[in-house]
A and B are shown apart, each in its own frame.
Chain A
């Protein structure tokens, strides 16, 4: 966090000054490790072992916050009789299909829940993506609001008992053997988090891409969620799990998504074979209880925002104008489509996949096979210049004169040259003013897409097929000589309006009948009463510590989600020290906006057949879930199991000591010549690598390498190795190393350091190498270097299709890499050896 979020990290430093105990768990000893109470070195790719052992520690010692767990989680809920755990099947859950490598999740359901109806079929065949994550979207999927429970937690089929059995083999000994964390360090961590949880205290977890970029990445976060729920650390001040993001407004780009399977506000993208019309889509995509029960209002309001008067009840509010999914259209599937020639054109906006995505060679081979490519960036990034300076030109795999891709480089405005909002880690929207006009032809992304849209519309006619574009509301006021669309007008459209044009104040005003429009239901209220709430900058000295008048947090300006859980079931604060949102006898109150209906009494019990929020009791704080509970166990919505389970990375030097199943059985592999894998347990690739970032650079370096003041601070691509590893291989500090995988080999300068230590796993010594990935072959860079992301393979988490770039295997040779054809020969030898 100190390394990549130094500005936010000031608060960790301050918390520490005020007595907080801070642990840092990371394969790499970073600036964060240097400034905490205790650093735990861990083998990359083994965090679920550690988290699982902490869960086991809590459960087997009875340290869970029992009152919280009973009232607010699904611990007591009974699970389907046919469910089989990894304990029963040596690392598999019930429902796995060996042939397709996919799970059928129907046996994971709660007792009494009916499995989903059979998929619509294509040509009589069950669609290949049936169990894919896009079938659920990122939200509580269909499950009963009042499933059968055993409040004594003794029924072997209740979640609590399943959890206990599942994690029983996650012991401190396993942590030592798989993670390389010694027993006394584990004990200290376990003691600290349990001593600092409960009525009087809370513990927070913070993670970043070190947890997500794994073939079992989603389950890492799930494991932390289980721990936090068991310890009563969700929805309470000082608790929670914080996702640190990789760029400014990455949170914003999932809220109003650049993701293929989501619409604004985490609404699922419709599927070509799963959904017939709006009614059918709404019926299938989620439960009727909890706040998602109102999804018709959210979806219809979104359609009204996009198609305005053209969207009517008679035409399903233009639901059929929305594109449809037919499967995985994620980044890596798109790249494979490029190589295959099925994807002809490509927009790359503020990204640099030639350097930033896993298996850079596959990325560049895809780029070289396009008809056209649009790159929008501040500088000529490698993705725009690959045709003349990619490593494949040097090896002869690509020849400039044979690349047919027409590249359009569109210079972009920087953040001070445009207005708009950033939405960062804490869901906080903060408005930026424009300081000056962008120079020359540089323009904002908003300008680009708005004017592109206008020109596209000029070229379309009244064909039926053109109507979704022609009928879009596309009429923002244009400002100044550059005719910038008014970003405020866009934010007002996102906020939403009533039929009379009045700006909505709250998402509760959204209607399912087409009388309201709203571009993103969770952002509704950001422009309440015509005031740009995101632009508020009242200093903390003039308001309370929750600072509700600084910017605006979705939803409804709540700063802590699910904060009803900060009070006990009767609505009283768990303790005076942790008092936050509570019931004052007539309503919920406190320093934050209650995440609950203000007047729903703790004693409220839903009547039979109640829908949406009315189906949740006054003691159900997790209001987006169909049962209002925090899910220790996930009955539906995940592709790789209801409980986090340790699987070794796809490329690992050690055997999975917990199960016969080595790696995540549901992981997505891309088995193609462009993407060869290092065999697991291969002696040819004995070292573990992980990729990382440095404070001095930003992602692929496009915003830092061209700047001398940043480039001089970390001028060359390097790797960090332990003294022992340097000795074993013959690496010199300040010299060169060649890192080899079956994808390619790159050369890096060597930094030998005592901060990296060999790990002892069950008697075997495993060396880790750490590689910051900020360098590439151009980007107008004052400094350049080999592309670290050329090393990882494309192997994906099955829920969100993120690549496993944080843990893999490699070989390391002293000296610089071979050039030209000789480089390919070296890789050939490794592949065949």
Chain B
């Protein structure tokens, strides 16, 4: 397996140009997401979904306008992948999580499984879609389209270990400059999803940007649940057997 690759999105230098949204759609041939004036600051695509794989959030605060380009987190423990019955979702050699559209049967199990609400089904064809971290470009030795298009290097692509180091240094520097609210989101391998392949530098609480504060892989308790269910089944079986045995 190649090195684990990922995104570090530094929101402190995001200028909200949405080049990432457009480059993603151009490269991946993602359809438009409708033409709706949402009256929510400069955001008219709303959220990540089947037809929006990069999404720039605009948060208006008193005297401050936060912008953040959100994307699939490519979790270490990816619930979407765990629940996929067809094997359409798989883990690549870059340790990213990709849906194969020619295998997906549109069952939709992955949709509620994602703790971030990223993956979604398209209304017209029913299949599930999300960011592939430009798997085809990576295989061709190129960086993902969004990172390539980002004019300010707010979206950085690279080996995850390297990105984590860079991000920590950046936070340290910001703290030294008095930007004490700077914090990383998703980089910690000990978090509920085992760390994310796409992590962020934020200037406020994750909820402010529409991110869950403490996401947990929804399949985390699955083994235990199966154990309990198995135990219960065994106990039931034993009880039933006991009944028959007892009658003898």
Give the interface of A toward B (CB within 8 A): 2, 6-7, 9-10, 13, 17, 29, 31-35, 694-696, 708-716, 718, 733-734, 749-755, 782-783
Q: What are the residues of chain A within 8 A of B19 when measuring CB–CB?
A: 6
| A713 to B38 alpha-carbon distance, docked (Å) | 10
Query: Interface code B1-14, partner A: CB below 8 Å = 1, 0 otherwise?
Result: 00000000000010
**Taking A710-B22, A755-B60, A782-B35 as contacts, is the C-beta distance between A9 and B65 under 8 angstroms?**
no
B126: interface (CB < 8 Å): no
A-B contact pairs, 9 of them (CB 8 A): A10-B151, A13-B13, A17-B13, A32-B15, A709-B21, A712-B44, A716-B37, A734-B38, A752-B39
Contacts of B221 in A (CB 8 A): none
A12 to chain B, nearest CB (A): 9
Stretch at the interface among B25-33, B89-97, B104-112, B194-202: B25-33
Residue of B18, B34, B65 near A755 (CB, 8 A) is B65
Q: Are B36 and A715 in contact (CB under 8 A)?
A: yes
A708 touches B17 (CB 8 A): no
With A34-B67, A709-B26 as contacts: A13 and B16 at CB distance below 8 Å: no
Among A13, A714, A752, point to the contact of B15 (Cβ < 8 A).
A13
Mark B residues whose CB is within 8 Å of A: 13, 15-19, 21-22, 25-26, 31-39, 41-42, 44-45, 60, 62, 64-67, 151-153
Q: Are A713 and B18 touching (Cβ within 8 A)?
A: yes
Known: A7-B151, A10-B152, A714-B42. A696 touches B37 (CB 8 A): no
Of all chain A residues, the one with the shortest Cβ separation from B22 is A709
User: Is the beta-carbon distance between A6 and B62 smaller than 8 angstroms?
Assistant: no
Nearest chain B CB to A99 CB, angstrom units: 50
Evaluate whether A715 and B26 lie within 8 angstroms (CB atoms) in the complex, with A2-B17, A34-B16, A34-B65 already known.
no
Query: In the complex, A10→B16 CA distance in Å?
Result: 12
**Distance (whole angstroms) from the CB of A212 to the closest CB of chain B:** 23
Chain A residues with CB under 8 A of B35: 708, 711-712, 715-716, 782-783
Q: Compute how far the CA of A696 lies from the CA of B44 in the bound complex, rounded to whole angstroms.
A: 11
Please, which residue of chain A has its CB at the minimum distance from the CB of B37?
A: A716
Task: Give bound CA distance, A752 to B22, whole Å.
Answer: 26
Contacts of B37 in A (CB 8 A): 715-716, 718, 734, 749
Cβ-defined partner of A713 (8 Å) among B13, B15, B21:
B21
* Shortest Cβ distance from A717 into B: residue: B37
A31 touches B152 (CB 8 A): no
Contact A31 to B39, CB < 8 A, known contacts A10-B151, A13-B152, A712-B34:
no
User: Do A712 and B33 touch (CB < 8 A)?
Assistant: yes
* Complex contact A750–B39 (CB within 8 A): yes
With A34-B15, A709-B25, A783-B35 already in contact, 16 other A-B pairs whose C-beta atoms are closer than 8 Å? A17-B13, A31-B15, A31-B65, A34-B16, A695-B16, A710-B22, A711-B35, A712-B32, A712-B33, A712-B45, A713-B22, A714-B44, A749-B37, A750-B39, A751-B41, A755-B60
Q: Which residues of chain A have C-beta atoms less than 8 A from B22's C-beta?
A: 709-710, 713
Q: Are A709 and B152 in contact (CB under 8 A)?
A: no
Shortest B192–chain A CB gap in Å is: 31
Partner of A9, one of B15, B18, B62, B67: B15
Q: What 3 A-B pairs are tightest by C-beta distance, nearest first?
A: A734-B39, A34-B65, A708-B32
User: CA A6 – CA B17 in complex, angstroms?
Assistant: 7
Q: How far is the CB of A81 from chain B (nearest CB, A)?
A: 52
With A708-B32, A733-B39 as contacts: A695 and B18 at CB distance below 8 Å: yes
- Asked if residues A751 and B152 are in contact (CB atoms below 8 Å), the reply is no
Instruction: Report the bound CA distance from A718 to B43 in whole Å.
Output: 13
- Chain B residue nearest to A696 (CB atoms) is B18
Flag if B60 contacts A754 (CB, 8 Å): yes
Report the bound CA distance from A274 to B229 in whole Å. 100
- A754: B residues at CB distance < 8 A: 60, 62
Contact status A31-B44, CB under 8 Å: no
Cα A7 to Cα B150 with chains together (Å): 9
List residues of chain B with CB within 8 A of the CB of A751.
39, 41
Q: Which residues of A contact B25 (CB under 8 A)?
A: 709
In the complex, A752 Cα to B153 Cα: how many Å?
31
| Known contacts A6-B19, A709-B32, A715 near B152 by CB under 8 Å | no
Closest residue of chain B to A783, judged by CB? B35
- CB A77 to nearest CB in B, in angstroms, measures 44
- For A753, the closest partner residue in chain B by CB is B60
Q: Which residues of B contact A695 (CB under 8 A)?
A: 16-18
Please give me the residue from chain A that is nearest to B150 by CB atom: A10
Assembled-state Cα–Cα distance A709/B23 (Å):
9
Residues of A within 8 A of B26 (CB): 709
Interface centre among A34, A712, A733, A751 (most CB of B within 10 A): A712
Chain B contacts for A749, CB-based, 8 A: 37, 39
Residue numbers in A under 8 Å from B65 (CB-CB): 29, 31, 33-34, 755
**B31 partner residues in chain A, CB cutoff 8 A:** 708
Q: Distance (Å) between the CB of A484 and the closest chain B CB?
A: 27
Contact B15 A753 (CB under 8 A): no
Pairwise interchain contact A31-B67, C-beta atoms closer than 8 A: yes
CA distance A31 to B152 in the complex (A): 13
For A7, the chain B residues whose CB sits under 8 A away are 151
Whole-angstrom CA separation of A34 from B60 in the bound complex:
10
What's the Cα separation between A35 and B17 when bound, in Å?
12
Residues of A within 8 A of B33 (CB): 712
Given contacts A709-B32, A714-B42, contact A31 B62 (CB under 8 A): no
User: Which chain B residues lie closer than 8 Å to A34 at the CB level?
Assistant: 15-16, 64-67
| Cβ–Cβ contact B15 & A35, under 8 A | yes
For residue B29, give the distance in angstroms from its CB to the closest CB of chain A.
11
A708 proximity list for chain B (CB < 8 A) = 31-32, 35
A749→B40 CA distance, assembly (Å):
12
**In the assembled complex, which residues on chain B have CB atoms less than 8 Å from the CB atom of A31?**
15-17, 42, 65, 67
Interface core residue of B13, B36, B62, B151 (most chain A CB under 10 Å) = B151
- Chain B residue nearest to A712 (CB atoms) is B32
Q: Which residues of A are found within 8 Å of B64, using beta-carbon distances? A: 34
In the assembled complex, the Cα of A499 lies from the Cα of B25 at a distance in Å of: 54
Tell me which residues across on chain A come within 8 A of B32, comparing CB atoms: 708-709, 711-712, 782
Given the interface contacts A712-B32, A712-B34, A714-B44, does A6 sit within 8 Å of B15 by beta carbon? yes
Closest-by-CB residue of A relative to B15 is: A2
Q: How far is it, in angstroms, between the C-alpha of A732 and the C-alpha of B146 when the chains are bound?
A: 35
Q: Across the interface, which residues of A come within 8 angstroms of B15, CB to CB?
A: 2, 6, 9, 13, 31-32, 34-35
Contact of B44 among A10, A13, A29, A713 (CB under 8 A): A713
User: Which residue on chain A has the smallest CB distance to residue B41?
Assistant: A753
CB distance from A148 to the nearest CB of B (A): 51
How far is it, in angstroms, between the C-alpha of A492 and the C-alpha of B62 when the chains are bound?
56
A754 to B58, CA, bound (A): 13
CA distance A782 to B31 in the complex (A): 14
Residues of A within 8 A of B67 (CB): 31, 34
State A714–B40 Cα separation when bound (angstroms): 11
A715 to B16 Cα, complex, angstroms: 16
Name the B residues within 8 Å of A713 (CB-CB). 18, 21-22, 44-45
Q: Which residue of B lies closest to A1 (CB)?
A: B15
Question: In the bound complex, what is the Cα–Cα distance between A783 and B34 (angstroms)?
Answer: 11
- Cα A469 to Cα B83 in complex, Å, equals 76
Query: Given the complex of chains A and B, what is the CA–CA distance between A712 and B31 in angstroms?
Result: 10
A656: min CB distance to chain B, Å: 31
Q: Roughly how many angstroms separate A716 CA and B42 CA in the complex, as a whole number?
A: 11
Which residues of A sit under 8 angstroms from B16, Cβ to Cβ? 2, 31, 34, 695
The minimal Cβ–Cβ distance linking B172 to chain A, given in whole angstroms, is 14
Q: Which residues of chain B are near A32, meaning CB under 8 Å?
A: 15
B13 CB to closest chain A CB, in angstroms?
A: 5
Q: Is the CB of A715 within 8 A of B39?
A: no
Q: For residue A10, which residues in chain B have a CB less than 8 angstroms away from its CB? A: 151-153
Q: Which residues does chain B contribute within 8 Å of A9, judged by CB atoms?
A: 15, 151-152
Cβ–Cβ < 8 Å partners of A2 in chain B: 15-17
In the complex formed, the residue of A with least CB distance to B13 is: A13
Considering the complex, give the chain B residue whose CB is closest to the CB of A785: B37
CA distance A798 to B209 in the complex (A): 49
For B151, the chain A residues whose CB sits under 8 A away are 6-7, 9-10
B38 CB, min distance to chain A CBs, angstroms? 8
Contacts of B153 in A (CB 8 A): 10
